[in-house]
Each structure stands twice: as structure tokens, then as C-alpha cells.
Amino acid sequence: MSGEGAQAVPDGSVADHDADGPAEEPAGSGPAVRRLAAWDAAVLRDLAVEHGSPLYVLDLDRVRENYRRLDAAFDEAEVYYATKANTLGRCLATLADEGAGLECASAGEVVRALDALEQVAGETPLVDGSRVQYTAVSPPAADLDTVCELWEAYPELTVTVGAADTLDRLESRDYDGRLCVRVNPGVGAGHHEKVRTGADAKFGVPYDEAADLLAEADDRNFDVVGIHAHAGSGISDESDLANHEELVSRMGDLAREAPVPLEFVDVGGGFGVPYHEDAPALDLDAVAQATREALGEVDATLRIEPGRYLVADAGVLLTTVNTVKETPETVVTGVDTGMTTLLRPAMYDAYHAIRNLSADIGDAERETVGQTVVGPICESSDSFCSNRPLPRPERTDLLAIGNAGAYGYEMASHYNSRPRPATVTLADGTASLARRRETLADVTRLEVDHQ
């Protein structure tokens, strides 16, 4: 079987959609959360048999559902997907097809975003770049070169600057197009120090200088269209929400004081997803309502930039047990994927649900034992969990790691000369290979002695 056109399940649904969601949902938006337990174990097993392990699986129908739910909750806002969460072409095209704008963190992402928009536009190539914004953080010269060149073909794209000197660098490239100023709001939210950007001086211009920079950019003939702030990732609890409200209210104040008319006020992304099995779903309506109230009356459109929220629970990472080792402290379950494939546990101490699909499919009851699931990388941080209760493992068991659709493949590396895994997408119940598995030749390809 080639993988093209393989039918995932007869009725076209790959998950039990009744598992978790609130009873009433806007049409087509699906449950608020898709838990790892809701994925069909047999479908995932068949994909691993066909495409090998480790394997990323991304359900594009779920991406659509997540977009529709968010778009409905923020019905007056423009939604720009933060592409860095997952830049797979099919994922970008799915969201472009839903009408999302695309928020890009690099020139490479801008190129991929425009490709996706072109692909979706098909025979009516009306893509003018208006649905693309590039947020320049210490932008390398090559990025500015590429974006300014693309701007000639896509004159409606927007560049967001986070430092006054980026204006000089744009001007020296003859850019006088749409410009947004990124503001450091002085408040941060987020699940981990490393993802809290709002209060970090790296990002954005100081709040008190933003109005002057808007005036200066306008004087220098840039087409000033918006202001932007992003507090960091992971609005999930009340203190995060309070930070978010604080950020939004400061942005509302700035919009009202702005020396030039603005088209939009972009309050960033960071809408959280529950990584723990028992954590509640984000109450989107409450977040949307709080955002509206905090913003107040402004003569500009609200814009949001979700990344994780749209893709996290649409993806799983499949991996195979290759080593089972009993130790006095824990059962060590060695698997064929590690921090080079899914970095979040090693980098952020992130929790990801883990499910033993073979145990769920098999008839035999298995006892639950505490286990530490580790990868093949020579680093002690190469561990997905520590002494977590899971069904007793057997060699060749297939495990699924949940919420792997966001910042999974994107952060993968070749460390330890590990080729990156393949990605399969599901759409309309049909699975197909979206990105092939790398080989060792892919890892060494750029070395000049290997040509």
C-alpha cells in the first residue's frame, strides 16, 4: 500500500468526538479538546505498520475544527495562525483554506505561507500578501532581503518591527509598505520561563516609546497599519488570563493614544491547550469576552495569533518500545524517538500524555507500573516522563505521545545523527504521507565531502 488514499476508518472519523467536549458546540467546530484517549488505536497502529516508527500523525480535520471554534469565539477578530507551531505545507494550506491569515517568524515562513495561500487560491491568483505578516525579531539581513523582495510581488504584506533600527534597515531596502510596531507590554504570561516573551526586553519596543515610534515611522513614509504584542505561550489559568487582560488593556490604551490611525491591534497568541489528561479545556468564550472588555472601544480591528491552540491536539507522535529495563526505582521504557523528535519535555519540562496503544488493542489485561519513558539520545534530559503509571510495557509495543501537533516536528533536530521521522496527515478520514522519513544520507547531504 502506498499510503495515498488509505482509508483511515470506514465512517471517515478518526476519533471518538463525544469523548470530552461540552454538549453544545458551534456547528463543525468539534469538542473543545481532543484527548489522546480519543484517538483510534487501531488506525494509529496501521499507520505505524505502513509508514514505520517513529511517526508524526496530523489530523487536518481537527485543525479545521480548532480554527472554526476559535474563529467563532472571536467572531469580530482576524485570526492569524502563528505558523511556527507547525509549518507543514498541508497544515498551512488547510488554515489558509479556512480563511486564516498567517503570522510568520522568519523569511522562510513567509515563503511557505505565500506558497500555501497561492496553492489555495488556485486558478484565481489574487494573493496580494495581505494575509501574511512577518514579525521581525533581530531579523537577519538575509530575511529582510527576502521579505523586501517578496513585497514587490506581494505589496500588501505587513512587516512588524520590534526595534527602531529595523526601520533604517527596511528603508535602506526601499521598503515603504505596511508596517506594524511590536510593543513590549511589560507583562508576560506563559507555562514556562522560556516562553514568556512579554516582559523580555528582547521583544518589542518599550511601551512608553511606542507612540513616538509610530509617529516616526509615519513621518518616514511607512504605511503604519497596526500595533502588536505577544505575551508568551500558554494562557491556561487565571493568573495567565489576568496577565493577558493587562496586556490587552495596555494595547487598547496605546491604540486610543496612537498618533496615526490604525487598522488593527494585534494582541498575540498563547491560547493554551490542556497537556495533562485531567486539565480542563480553555474556556474560549471567557477569554474572548475578557479580551473584548480589556481592549475597550478602539477604532481598529482586533487581531489574534494562535499557534499551539490550532494544531497541538491535532497531532500525535507514534513511537515503538525497544527496551524494557526493570530497576529498583522505576521501569525504564526505551523507545525509538527522543528529544531530537519532540523537544518540549527536555526543553520546557513539558508534560505530554502517553498511551500504550498495543495494550489498548490487546486482549490481555496489563498491570499498571510506574515507568520512565526515555529516548535513544545520550542526554539525561532525553526523557518523556518520570515514573508515570502506564500499562506494563513489552518490547515492540506502540506508544502514542499526545498533543504533538504544535512545536513537535518544528523543533526536531539531527543531534546524534538522527534522521527526522515521517509525517502522515489525515483528511476526510483518509491518511496519506505528507513528508517522508529522512535517511542518513539526508543528514550528511550538506557536507561538501559527501557530494
305 binds ligand PLP (CB under 6 A): yes
85 binds ligand PLP (CB under 6 A): yes
233 binds ligand PLP (CB under 6 A): yes
105 binds ligand PLP (CB under 6 A): yes
- Sequence letter at residue 45: R
Please enumerate in sequence order all residues whose Cβ is within 8 A of that of 451, keeping only pairs 6 or more positions apart, or say none.
none
Q: Using alpha carbons, select from 54, 40, 56 the residue that is nearest to residue 321.
A: 54
- E strands of 267-353, at which residues? 301-304, 315-326, 331-335
82 binds ligand PLP (CB under 6 A): yes
Least separation in angstroms between CB 128 and ligand PLP: 22
The interface with ligand PLP within residues 171-210 (CB under 6 A) comprises none
Using the minimum distance from each CB to ligand PLP, give the nearer residue, 82 or 281: 82
71 binds ligand PLP (CB under 6 A): no
Q: Using alpha carbons, select from 263, 290, 302 the residue that is nearest to residue 179.
A: 263
From the list 12-20, 262-270, 378-386, 432-440, the region that binds ligand PLP by CB under 6 A is 262-270
The interface with ligand PLP within residues 129-168 (CB under 6 A) comprises 135
The upper half-sphere exposure of residue 116, i.e. CA atoms within 13 Å in the direction of its Cβ, equals 29
CA gap 266, 320 in Å, rounded: 42
From the list 63-71, 252-260, 282-290, 307-315, the region that binds ligand PLP by CB under 6 A is 307-315
Written as nine digits, the cell of 389 is 503509571
- The DSSP output letter for 17 is T
CA gap 107, 103 in Å, rounded: 11
Using the minimum distance from each CB to ligand PLP, give the nearer residue, 105 or 159: 105
From the list 4-12, 79-87, 165-173, 277-285, the region that binds ligand PLP by CB under 6 A is 79-87
Quick check: is 378 catalytic? Answer: yes
Least separation in angstroms between CB 66 and ligand PLP: 11
Cis peptide bond prior to 393, omega within 30° of 0: no
Using the minimum distance from each CB to ligand PLP, give the nearer residue, 135 or 320: 135
86 binds ligand PLP (CB under 6 A): no
The SS3 call for residue 275 is coil
Cβ burial of 153 (10 Å; 0-12, 13-18, 19+) is exposed
Q: Binding residues for ligand PLP, per CB under 6 A?
A: 82, 84-85, 103, 105, 135, 230, 233, 268-271, 305-309
Mind telling me the catalytic residues? 378
